[in-house]
Structure 1
Amino acid sequence: MLHVTDPLSSRSSANLGIRSALEIAGVQKPLPLAHFMTCQLPVCLPLSRGYATQHVVEGLEPRTLYRFRLKVTSPSGEFEYSPVVSVSTTGEPISSEYFHRAVNMNDEDLLLRIFQGGHVKVDVPNKFGFTALMVAAQKGYTRLVKILVSNGTDVNLKNGSGKDSLMLACYAGHLDVVKYLRRHGASWEARDLGGCTALHWAADGGHCNVVEWMIKDGCEVDAMDTGLGWTPLMRVSAVSGNQRVASLLIEAGADVNVKDRDGKTPLMVAVLNNHEELVQLLLDQGADASIKNEVSGPTVSCGSPRRSRRITVSSQTYAQCCFSSFLFQFGKGVLEMARVFDRQNVVSLLEERRKKQLPKKSSIR
């Protein structure tokens, strides 16, 4: 696409081709012989020679000014030059790669120029299945998020694992982005392929300011995923052991004695993963150490092969959890679990607490 400036009348005409440029320059009918030249004044290089009334110039650079003129030769040998025609090319067509590059580089000016050029497919995913909004939300590029939303991006669109932009922002801890997405229609009720909500991912991320705001904004604290039946508190017990996040969830009403599909409680999961301080917190907040698990058959409880879960555990812990699903299928308590897995500090903690809870023997004199 060319933008042609008429040097004769100083008019501008958008979307004109080379033929229009020639007509503006005065070529309205077939001529005896014409040379079509590109000019870097004072030098003009020939591009075409013949009797045609139009010529297409290819291989032009984007956003570049070119100057053209005609040399018209009559049968008598006399010739005349047309006025110079100035032609400015527009930018190159926007590809999805070019669009995503602007977002990855956090280049606000470039992104605005791309939108000003028009015809942008704002929700086209990159090679990883992420839209531009997902990338900006995950990286915390708040200004880019606003630009994308104002240009019609879908805030509830999901990637291949079912995660949306809100989940990614919650996990990464970008509270400003989280608030903005919520104001523009992002939902707490959305779930990924594993059934996890944004609060599950925020709990994994461990950003207390995000978790606290999410709770105040009304997200459900005890939502269970569809894989293992884990609540956000279960995720904390299994993954990070973050006491501050656990405290926020418990203060908001999270059930400390909730059971997953294997009959395990947050306390059991914290014991298995040797989160001693979290074990102490759960006990202080009313976790029942006498509950037995209720596994009815062999299952794996400390990880998932689903890509959507992205839970990282060591190979040793994973092997122990696989073994535990067989060992405890008839019902075991947290103290037995701690002993089997040699969690000595946790064993000492549980035994000390049990002693304190035993009724004192009365002495008869």
Structure 2
Amino acid sequence: MKYIIIVVFFTYSIVAQSQSVFEASREGSIDTLEALYRINNDTLNAVDSKGFTPLILSTYNSQAAAVTFLLNKNVDINAKDVSGNTALMGVCFKGNFEIAKMLIDNGANVNQQNYNNATALIYASTFGHLDIVTYLLQKGADKEIIDSRGNTALKHAQMQGNDEIEALLKF
């Protein structure tokens, strides 16, 4: 039994060394994330040179299973990259409703602002993601927040011609 445990740990170490936590997050490699977590559970909150965390990279790359894994390990859901963007902001830019809902339902701050004062609602409104805008509003997103250029989510929707979102934000 002793030898089996050593072999298993050694195998995890080889897997973990061959792929970084950031690559594993981008690719949704749960086995590697698990191996890295077993070696050092702090690695799941690691930050790369751009401030990206494994959660930010998993959400941005639509890796729902990796997002679920990371959330179950209690990573910092509101961590910011070097621009102040969060995982929720990234997914609102990309438009993956399933992952946006996961983040919101697990406590992501729907009104957190980046360093340009933009919010997840501003991103979802700008890029035309009606389902995400609707859910953000249901969960308390503040449509009156103004970004550093003086624009609200409504103004961003208008500038992009997102008529359905504009109508939703006017109420």
Q: Where on the TM-score scale, by shorter chain, does this alignment land: which range?
A: 0.7 to 0.9
Q: What's the offset of the Cα at 1:114?
A: 3.0
SS of match in other structure, 1:122: helix
Q: What's 1:209 paired with? A: 131
Q: What's the offset of the Cα at 1:116?
A: 3.6
Is 1:12 the counterpart of 2:2? The answer is yes
* 1:48-59 paired onto structure 2 within 5 Å: none
Q: Higher helix share goes to which structure?
A: 2
Aligned partner letter, 1:215: L
Change (3 A) 1:118 1:219: same
Check the 8 A contact 1:137/1:168 in 2, yes or no.
Answer: yes
Q: What's 2:31 paired with? A: 109
Q: Which whole-Å CA distance do the structure 2 matches of 1:236 and 1:106 have between them?
A: 32
Q: How many residues align?
A: 170
Structure showing greater Rg: 1
Aligned partner letter, 2:165: V
Which of structures 1 and 2 has the larger relative contact order (alpha carbons within 8 angstroms, sep 6+)?
2
Selected match of 1:245 from 165, 168, 171: 165
Q: What's 2:107 paired with? A: 185
Q: What's the offset of the Cα at 1:128?
A: 2.8
Q: Higher strand share goes to which structure?
A: 1
User: Which stretches in structure 2 are left out of the alignment for 5+ residues?
Assistant: none
Which stretch of structure 1 is more off in the superposition, 192-201 or 114-123?
114-123
Q: Which whole-Å CA distance do the structure 2 matches of 1:96 and 1:232 have between them?
A: 43
Q: Which whole-Å CA distance do the structure 1 matches of 2:46 and 2:18 have between them?
A: 7
Selected match of 1:161 from 83, 86, 91: 83
Check the 8 A contact 1:208/1:245 in 2, yes or no.
Answer: yes
**TM-score, scaled to structure 2:** 0.85
**TM-score, scaled to structure 1:** 0.42
Q: What's the offset of the Cα at 1:124?
A: 1.1
Q: Which whole-Å CA distance do the structure 2 matches of 1:89 and 1:108 have between them?
A: 18
SS of match in other structure, 2:149: coil
SS of match in other structure, 2:107: coil
Q: Which whole-Å CA distance do the structure 2 matches of 1:135 and 1:185 have between them?
A: 18
Is 1:234 the counterpart of 2:155? The answer is yes
* 1:87-126 paired onto structure 2 within 5 Å: 89-90=10-11, 91-92=13-14, 94=16, 98-126=20-48
What is the Cα-based RMSD across aligned positions, in Å?
Answer: 2.7
Selected match of 1:142 from 56, 61, 64: 64
Check the 8 A contact 1:170/1:201 in 2, yes or no.
Answer: yes
Check the 8 A contact 1:161/1:193 in 2, yes or no.
Answer: yes
Question: Percent identity between the aligned chains?
Answer: 24
Q: What's 2:98 paired with? A: 176
Check the 8 A contact 2:16/2:32 in 1, yes or no.
Answer: no
SS of match in other structure, 2:74: coil
SS of match in other structure, 2:45: coil
Change (3 A) 1:119 1:93: farther
Change (3 A) 1:221 1:96: farther
Q: Which whole-Å CA distance do the structure 2 matches of 1:211 and 1:199 have between them?
A: 6
User: Which stretches in structure 1 are left out of the alignment for 5+ residues?
Assistant: 1-10, 17-62, 65-87, 254-365
